[in-house]
Amino acid sequence: MKPGLTSIRGAGLGLRRVFAAEIVAHPPARVDFYEVAPENWMHVGGRLGKQFRALTEAHTIVCHGLSLSLGGTAALDEEFLGDLRDFLILHGIGIYSEHLSYCGDDGLLYDLMPIPFTEEAVIHTARRIRHTQEILERRIAIENISYYAAPGQEMAEIDFLNAVLQEADCDLLLDINNIHVNAVNHAYDAARFLARIPADRIVYAHIAGHYVQAPDLLVDTHGAPVIDPVWALLEQAYALHGVFPTLLERDFNIPPLADLLAEVDTIHAIQQNAMTPLRRHG
């Protein structure tokens, strides 16, 4: 298995087309890496294609997939994976991640559906992850998703996640907001969940905002600023597992870039605070 081509550090930002030109023209120094959905860029040419090439030549880029459906029953799209492998190599992108979910059968559902938390699903999903890694010739990371129902549940979410990571021998994209959302919606202890995450598999993390439908129902929208309890959970994650790269996601209600950069600055500040005791006692 070929290793990733690049490593990342610090604080990142999800790249959106609405501010891509601004990033090219005036790249903010405090953003250490950007994340894109490869499906949105793989076959884009013309002005936008040249813009993306300029970004990948100047900045560290990671890819976070939307459509692979790792937990699905339909055959993996090997043609897509071949194109994806070429795209990652062309742009020197070393990290690719996907959701621990399924999103289709004969066609895309345009949503991320929860995989049943069962031993059978562990084996099935891990086999598909290993096959994906073989085609891409690299390790991938899987992301813990938010979910609103757990059909056929036989094990706890954290046990399912850890079993897939072990069986597939893959890495983890740790979504901090999803832990908070799920902990509220399914009434479990977010700190206990976080403590059982295998630190050695964390490649980087996501942090984002959500929508409060009710006190016991949060919706993972990526359409609002990050709230204080989620920032606090990120602090706990660093205390437990060390400081790892962390990226701000914002998919809807996108504010001016300056507002997003202020949240990126918050990531940096929390990372610096977490590393200060290490320096003091090093």
Quote the domain boundaries for residue 61.
11-281
> DSSP 3-state assignment of 28?
coil
Query: Per the domain annotation, does 4 fall within a domain?
Result: no
Residue with tokens 């359409």: 223
Q: How many CA atoms lie within 13 A of 273 on its CB side?
A: 14
The tally of domains found in the chain comes to: 1
Among candidates 132, 55, 74, which has minimal Cα distance to 99? 132
pTM above threshold 0.85: yes
pLDDT tens string 121-156? 999 999 999 999 999 999 999 999 999 888 889 999
Encode 75-118 in three state secondary structure: CCCHHHHHHHHHHHHHCCCCCEEEECCEEECCCEEEEEECCCCC
Query: Per the domain annotation, does 163 fall within a domain?
Result: yes
Strand spans (E) along 156-268: 171-175, 202-207, 211-214, 217-219, 246-248
Mean pLDDT of 22-33: 95
The CATH number of whichever domain residue 245 belongs to comes to: 3.20.20.150
Cα angle 139, 141, 145 (rounded to 5 degrees) comes to 160
Query: Per the domain annotation, does 1 fall within a domain?
Result: no
User: How far apart, in whole angstroms, are the C-alpha atoms of residue 169 and residue 116?
Assistant: 20
Share of the chain above pLDDT 90, in %: 78
- Could you give the C-alpha distances from 144 to 92, 188, 195, 197, 260, in angstroms and in order? 25, 15, 14, 11, 23
pLDDT level of residue 179 (50, 70, 90 thresholds)? very high
pLDDT tens string 180-231? 999 999 999 999 999 999 999 999 999 999 988 888 888 888 889 999 999 9
pLDDT of residue 184: 93
Query: Per the domain annotation, does 6 fall within a domain?
Result: no
pLDDT of residue 107: 55
